[in-house]
Chain A
Amino acid sequence: GAVVSQHPSWVICKSGTSVKIECRSLDFQATTMFWYRQFPKQSLMLMATSNEGSKATYEQGVEKDKFLINHASLTLSTLTVTSAHPEDSSFYICSATSDRGHEQYFGPGTRLTVT
């Protein structure tokens, strides 16, 4: 089956610093990748959709200048949380689809804690 990895699995950073999270499709080409955020005991909320080689499409209410998304290749997308604040502490999950299947394959998630 299709495998999606995320790195790091968890990260602790200080307020005001930036953090980069990587999402990789390991055995397929991901034409589209999605980034979600999940606060404790809440559902997954889509932050943005990114297609390889083009700018990401952000959901309403998500600051594109704060959450920088780059999808430079068919196997890698990155999410950079800039000037992180404690309220950005959350579980960030990526998913990827190829142009052949219907499923979104999810990564294991990255737990971000901003102190």
Chain B
Amino acid sequence: NAGVTQTPKFRVLKTGQSMTLLCAQDMNHEYMYWYRQDPGMGLRLIHYSVGEGTTAKGEVPDGYNVSRLKKQNFLLGLESAAPSQTSVYFCASSYPVGSYTDTQYFGPGTRLTVL
């Protein structure tokens, strides 16, 4: 199993450009998440999904959109990139067990720089 993979690993954008980050998991997990990590801020939840076709806002959703058309994929879109979106983006997935969820497994991250 590859676990959680992210594409691309690195990207440099100019202000105003758009891009999509792809997250894929092969563990049949129901829940998927997008986080951003900035120095001194810890990881912050952008959007999450509790199943195919569903999405919900996290702590810092502004400027991002997501889609979960297939259970194994969770896409994060930046429609008009801003320098404030320079960050490391992590995708994660987990599987609910009763009323709790199992461990979150993270992808290797995407380092995005917006000039």
| B is bound to A | no
B residues engaging A (CB < 8 A)?
none
Which residues of A are in contact with B by a Cβ distance under 8 Å?
A: none
